[in-house]
């Protein structure tokens, strides 16, 4: 059987059950849901207080028992605070077993904060009720002296270990508990300590909340700085690789153009070449032209909008004397030493070597103004060796090095890594800086195979 549906105008219309709620109603529902999630769901879940990692110079240098005590310092502090609350409860009623029981009821919630923080809050309210029922003090209500100290300690520890919203809920429930106890169960007592409890707990929880917010802000700033530094380093690396790709374009394009021209002219150097040979050279030329077209297309992707293709060819080690002359005009005293048999190297190696020397000298001008520098070039078997070393600045206390972009070392490492070379960049014992590079160069027999 089917249920009859009421008419749209009927007061029992189901539409009324699904009409939009007011913002106040939704706020109240969200607040109750937050209260349930924070203080009722898994209230007695096991959340042990972790050991403290030694921080600071003094704690990092400690060893043995002192380091162990430093790791358990937070647990020891909570234990001492619980013992203080127990002593206050016992001193309020030193005779008989009642004082011992009230002391244990003050100690238990404080110790429970080490493993079950939210559950410790509920235990503290329950212990407060029991102590108020069996205690012999009639001056304060509903918190006797030991319960007063224990509840303040519990609120503080739980607020430190949890979120600020939980601290707000605990304060509101404490206020509600005090209001109910003072309104309906305060007969036979001379005074109430609800107001002092709310004032002191509000001050303590406010301090803890501000501490939480400040620590969270510091963590967010640190995380943002880490991400920013990582992105800056990544952007620097990409910029350097893009610059290298632009510079090597002319070198690679030149070689591909030579291959295409030689493949086109080769059949005319042989009298009556066979068709297979002509077809092979035509295929080589087509592949060379296609590769050159793709190379230009890739360069168009990595080229910035404001990048202009240089009119002059890319520099080589033959132009190094001109670079050193320009550097000397800026005031840098630089010497050049060449060892080994000077020979022509691949254009990529020549260009990378020139740029490495150029960047090393720029770093010297930027970070050690007034210092002298020396450039050593060694043509050795199997490659090219470079060494650029500068002396310390003559007066580092008075001369402030100009800030740089920080791309120099990154760019040099990228160039060296592209050629499968090796590089070291480190300060010298005398206070200067040294850059040493080895760029491997295949022998003529190997390159021709």
What is the DSSP code string of 15-30?
GGGGSPPPHHHHHHHH
Q: Nearest-CA neighbor of 425 among 339, 364, 365? A: 364
Domain ranges for the chain: 23-192, 229-302, 317-448
Contact 122, 129 (CB under 8 A): no
Coil, strand, or helix at residue 426?
Answer: strand
Coil, strand, or helix at residue 326?
Answer: helix
> What is the distance between the terminal CA atoms of the chain, rounded to a whole angstrom?
91
- Residues 205-258 have pLDDT tens digits of 999 999 988 988 888 888 888 877 777 777 777 777 777 776 666 667 666 777
Share of the chain above pLDDT 90, in %: 33
Q: What's the pTM?
A: 0.55
Query: Could you tell me how many helices (H) and strands (E) the chain has, helices first?
Result: 14, 5
pLDDT-flagged residues of the chain (< 50): 1-2, 11-17, 401-406, 445-449
- Residues 17-72 have pLDDT tens digits of 455 567 767 766 766 777 788 888 888 889 999 987 766 555 555 666 777 777 88
Contact 161, 117 (CB under 8 A): yes
Distance CA 373, CA 371 (A): 7
CATH code for 317-448?
Answer: 3.30.565.10
Q: At what angle do helices 117-134 and 145-161 cross, to 10 degrees?
A: 170
């Amino acid at each position: 059987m089917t249920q009859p549906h009421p008419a749209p105008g009927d007061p029992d219309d189901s539409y009324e059950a699904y009409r939009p709620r007011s913002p106040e109603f939704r706020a109240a529902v969200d607040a109750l849901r937050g209260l349930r999630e924070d203080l009722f769901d898994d209230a007695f879940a096991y959340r042990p207080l972790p050991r403290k990692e030694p921080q600071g110079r003094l704690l990092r240098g400690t060893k043995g028992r002192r380091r162990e005590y430093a790791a358990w310092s937070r647990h020891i502090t909570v234990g001492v605070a619980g013992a203080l609350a127990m002593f206050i409860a016992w001193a309020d009623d030193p005779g008989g077993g009642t004082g011992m029981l009230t002391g244990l009821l003050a100690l238990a919630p404080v110790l429970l904060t080490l493993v079950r923080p939210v559950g410790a809050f509920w235990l503290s309210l329950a212990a407060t009720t029991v102590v108020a029922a069996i205690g012999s003090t009639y001056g304060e209500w509903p918190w006797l002296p030991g319960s007063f100290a224990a509840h303040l300690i519990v609120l503080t520890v739980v607020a430190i270990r949890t979120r600020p919203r939980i601290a707000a809920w605990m304060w509101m429930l404490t206020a509600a508990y005090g209001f109910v106890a003072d309104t309906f169960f305060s007969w036979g007592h001379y005074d109430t300590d609800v107001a002092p409890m709310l004032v002191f707990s509000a001050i303590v929880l406010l301090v803890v909340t501000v501490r939480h917010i400040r620590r969270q802000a510091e963590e967010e700033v640190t995380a943002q700085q880490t991400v920013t530094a990582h992105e800056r380093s990544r952007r620097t690396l990409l910029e350097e690789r893009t610059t290298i790709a632009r510079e090597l374009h002319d070198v690679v394009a030149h070689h591909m153009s030579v291959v295409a021209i030689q493949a086109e002219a080769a059949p005319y150097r042989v009298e009556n070449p066979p068709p297979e040979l002509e077809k092979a050279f035509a295929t080589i030329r087509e592949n060379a032209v296609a590769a050159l077209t793709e190379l230009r297309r890739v360069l168009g992707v990595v080229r910035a909008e404001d990048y202009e293709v240089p009119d002059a060819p890319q520099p080589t080690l033959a132009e190094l004397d001109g670079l050193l002359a320009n550097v000397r005009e800026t005031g840098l005293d630089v010497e050049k030493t060449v060892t080994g048999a000077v020979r022509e190297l691949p254009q990529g190696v020549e260009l990378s070597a020139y740029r490495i020397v150029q960047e090393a000298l720029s770093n010297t001008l930027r970070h050690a103004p007034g210092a002298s520098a020396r450039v050593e070039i060694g043509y050795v078997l199997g490659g090219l060796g470079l060494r650029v070393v500068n002396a310390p600045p003559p007066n580092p206390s008075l001369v402030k090095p100009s800030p740089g972009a920080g791309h120099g070392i990154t760019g040099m490492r990228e160039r060296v890594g592209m050629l499968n070379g090796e590089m070291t960049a480190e300060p010298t014992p005398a206070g200067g800086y040294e850059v040493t590079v080895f760029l491997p160069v295949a022998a003529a027999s190997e390159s021709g195979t």
